[in-house]
Amino acid sequence: DQQVKQNSPSLSVQEGRISILNCDYTNSMFDYFLWYKKYPAEGPTFLISISSIKDKNEDGRFTVFLNKSAKHLSLHIVPSQPGDSAVYFCAASDRNSAGKSTFGDGTTLTVKP
């Protein structure tokens, strides 16, 4: 049973518009959520995170929203830029599990100029 799901394998948006990437989870023990960005032939890099005690965290063009009752989080990128084209992974962890993170399958974002 996949505990972290990203149901959209791909997303294409126009430069300057908003990109919204979604993630659902099933394990109610998860209390820390992260988004990682991955370019081809590179390792994932940390983008933004949110603790379960918050419902929103913002960092520049990137905002993550958490809806605990729905077990859903989303990443908003505004405005989207061509350099944002990458694979985005949602990850979740339980602070009592040695920091192990469970990853979704990723969403490939393409931002068209």
Residue 54 token pair: 């918050």
Residue of 27, 49, 52, 57 that binds other proteins (CB under 8 A):
49
Question: Measured from the CB atom, is 15 or 59 closer to other proteins?
Answer: 59
Please give the distance of CA 41 from its chain centroid, rounded to a whole number.
20
79 Cα distance to chain centroid: 16
Tokens of 39: 């370019």
Count Cα atoms within 13 angstroms, Cβ side, for 101: 14
Residues 34 and 48 sit within 8 Å (Cβ to Cβ)? yes
Site for other proteins in 54-83 (CB under 8 A): none
43 binds other proteins (CB under 8 A): yes
| Least distance CB 111 / other proteins (angstroms) | 21
Would you count residue 53 as binding other proteins (CB under 8 A)? no
Choose between 49 and 74: whose C-beta lies nearer to other proteins. 49
Q: Could you tell me the two tokens for 16?
A: 């300057």
Write out the residues near other proteins by the rule CB under 8 A.
4, 6, 9, 32, 34, 36, 41-46, 49, 89, 91, 93, 95, 98-106
